[in-house]
Amino acid sequence: SQTIHQWPATLVQPVGSPLSLECTVEGTSNPNLYWYRQAAGRGLQLLFYSVGIGQISSEVPQNLSASRPQDRQFILSSKKLLLSDSGFYLCAWSMFGQGSGELFFGEGSRLTVL
Amino acid sequence: AQSVTQPDIHITVSEGASLELRCNYSYGATPYLFWYVQSPGQGLQLLLKYFSGDTLVQGIKGFEAEFKRSQSSFNLRKPSVHWSDAAEYFCAVGGYGGATNKLIFGTGTLLAVQP
């Protein structure tokens, strides 16, 4: 069966420090991968998605970037964190080519920027 | 533009009472609709989905939802709520987007269950 892992689960970082959140999927190949951010009262906002290695699409302009160095690995990064980057970050995957299929989510990473 | 509206930010029901969570969407084509549930500090779990066919869909944990095209709604229901149903519920809409499954989520409804 397929599983998705995110780490770290919790992170407290000072303003201006770098960020790296990692996500890996097991049990499937060539998945679509997504990073969402969840802020209180604002639902889930899609930040990035990827349909293959090295292929990244950004949905909103921001201080963050994403990379996909391997088929089942998705990384969310920042060179210098802002206070506004605080939030709950969720990685998700879906079957490639199923344009209306559901997303499967990881357990999330809570980022607090102080 | 596509959007999802969940008009109720917070709902409190008594254990054993019935539940209906509202969801309205705006989508230019035939939508694909989803309900997800999120426990505190956790990821999202799919409750049910609608792609086509029967407009009343059954999901896990005793939930069901009805697609009403004329009202652009996809409300979630449960006949008898259990204390373990306390969580946040998200409605989402998507469509056939080629290789991707980009979903648009509502802002969520937080459900509290009173004993």
Split at pLDDT 50, 70, 90, the class of A60 is confident
- What does the DSSP 8-state code read for residue B17? S
CA distance B64 to chain A (A): 17
Q: Note whether A99 contacts B44, CB cutoff 8 Å.
A: no
The predicted-structure confidence for B41-69, as pLDDT tens digits, reads as follows 889 999 999 988 889 999 999 999 999 99
The predicted-structure confidence for A16-58, as pLDDT tens digits, reads as follows 999 999 999 999 989 999 999 998 767 899 999 998 999 999 8
What percentage of chain A exceeds 70 in pLDDT? 96
Q: Please tell me if residue A104 touches chain B, with a CB cutoff of 8 Å.
A: yes
The predicted-structure confidence for A37-46, as pLDDT tens digits, reads as follows 998 767 899 9
CA distance A103 to chain B (A): 7
For B110, the closest chain A residue by CA position comes to A41
* Residue in B49, B100, B104 nearest the CB of A32: B100
**Helices and strands per DSSP (H, E), number in chain B:** 0, 12
Please report, as a single letter, which amino acid is at residue B109. T
pLDDT of residue A98: 63
Looking only at the bridges linking them, the beta strands covering A87-94 and A73-78 are: unpaired
Please report, as a single letter, which amino acid is at residue B3. S
A4 has pLDDT over 90: yes
Q: Please tell me if residue B10 touches chain A, with a CB cutoff of 8 Å.
A: no
CA distance A15 to chain B (A): 23
Report, in this order, helix, strand and coil percent for chain A, each rounded to 5: 5, 55, 40
Quote the tokens at residue A95.
């079957």
Q: Note whether A43 contacts B105, CB cutoff 8 Å.
A: yes
Please check whether residue A6 is in contact with residue A88, taking contact to mean a CB–CB distance below 8 angstroms. Answer: no
* Residue in B43, B51, B106 nearest the CB of A100: B51
Q: Which has more confidence, B82 or B42? A: B82
Q: Which has more confidence, A20 or B2? A: A20
